Amino acid sequence: MPLNKLREFLDSHNIRYMIFSHSLAYTAQGIAALTHISGKELAKTVIVRIDRDLAMAVVPASRHVDLPLLKRAVGAQTVELASEQEFKDKFPDCEAGAMPPFGNLYGMAVYADESLSSNKEITFNAGTHRELMRMDWVDLVRLVEPRVIKITRARVAETAA
């Protein structure tokens, strides 16, 4: 069961969280629409290759990772999206594309977009395409220790809102 590893980790640190079940959905924007959660409040985990290493880029569902921005921010030679073939074996307890932003559980660095820090809570896939987890942002930062940097650009519709 995908949630077991994550639940055990959070429970061992006395972290409060909520699990939401929803109909099957594969895209972050589709999940946001289905669950009536703003695309700015739902985070998606994107696996990237920074130089030779796999890493997690955690961004709002309504945005895309800006690879050149990430490359400059981390001082890398190369940054590119990783293919599913490259990372599927790293997450044996998760469905492909539904990884939670806990790189520390999978031996990966985590880079979180600074826009997420304006939310009190963070909601994300909990290892399946049918479950979301919500917890306090400060708890995620304390446990995961992501590097919180600007790795997305606001879309025109967001800046006008």
* CA-wise closest residue to 47 among 104, 108, 136, 89: 108
Residue 29: predicted pLDDT:
62
DSSP for residue 15: -
Q: Read off the pLDDT band of 32 (50, 70, 90).
A: low
Query: H-helix or E-strand containing 74?
Result: helix 67-74
Helix, strand, or coil (residue 61) = coil
Residue 77: predicted pLDDT:
96
CATH architecture of 3-154: Alpha-Beta Complex (3.90)
Weakest-pLDDT range from 2-11, 28-37, 65-74: 28-37
Phi, psi of 109 (to 5 degrees): -70, 150
Residue 160: predicted pLDDT:
43
Residue 9: predicted pLDDT:
94
Weakest-pLDDT range from 20-24, 54-58, 70-74, 83-87: 20-24
